[in-house]
Amino acid sequence: METKLSDYKETEAASRKKVRLTFLPLNVTVEGEEGKSILELALEHDIPLDHNCGGNCACTTCHVIVKQGMENLTEAEDNEDDMLDKAEGVTLSSRLGCQSHVYGDVVVEIPGR
């Protein structure tokens, strides 16, 4: 029996762990595939998270504040830290949604909502 690439991709996607991401103050929790960014999960579920640069770490419009689960996100790299220095309302738990990949349950606040 011949295995097609599309069959492999479907099997791989099905085997990925599901994560839960809660967006405050909307009080909306979505479920998605681990490894996706906060921005990707927001867009998949029609959560209004701005992203003027298209998710390329070239602006701060997808700025979120992590309320729970920081340990379930990838670590911030220098370019993200540099961009966050320009964000309004930045806190010690601020992240850019486009750069933060989720590997467990996380709660974030979208500032200004």
Q: What is the pLDDT of residues 50-101, one digit of tens each?
A: 999 999 999 999 999 999 999 999 999 999 999 999 999 999 999 999 999 9
Q: Rounded to 5, what percent of the chain is helix, strand, coil?
A: 25, 25, 50
**What's the pLDDT score for residue 46?**
97
Q: Does residue 60 lie within any of the structural domains?
A: yes
Question: What local confidence, expressed as pLDDT, does residue 78 receive?
Answer: 96
Q: The domain that contains 81 carries what CATH number?
A: 3.10.20.30
Residue 36, domain member (yes or no): yes
Residue 52 lies in a domain: yes
Residue 29: give the domain boundaries.
22-109
The answer to whether position 43 is within a domain reads: yes
Q: How far are the Cα atoms of 4, 8, 16, 50, 86 from residue 40, in angstroms, in the given order?
A: 27, 22, 16, 11, 22
Total of domains in the chain: 1
CA 39: distance to chain centroid? Answer: 4
Domain membership of residue 100 (yes or no) is: yes
Q: Supply the pLDDT for residue 29.
A: 98
Q: Write down the pLDDT at residue 16.
A: 82
Decide if 6 is inside a domain. no
Element (H, E) at 64: strand 63-68
Higher pLDDT, 113 or 1: 113
- Answer whether residue 39 is part of any domain: yes
How far apart CA 66 and CA 35 sit, in angstroms, is: 17
Evaluate whether residue 53 is within a structural domain.
Answer: yes
Widest Cα–Cα separation across the chain: 57
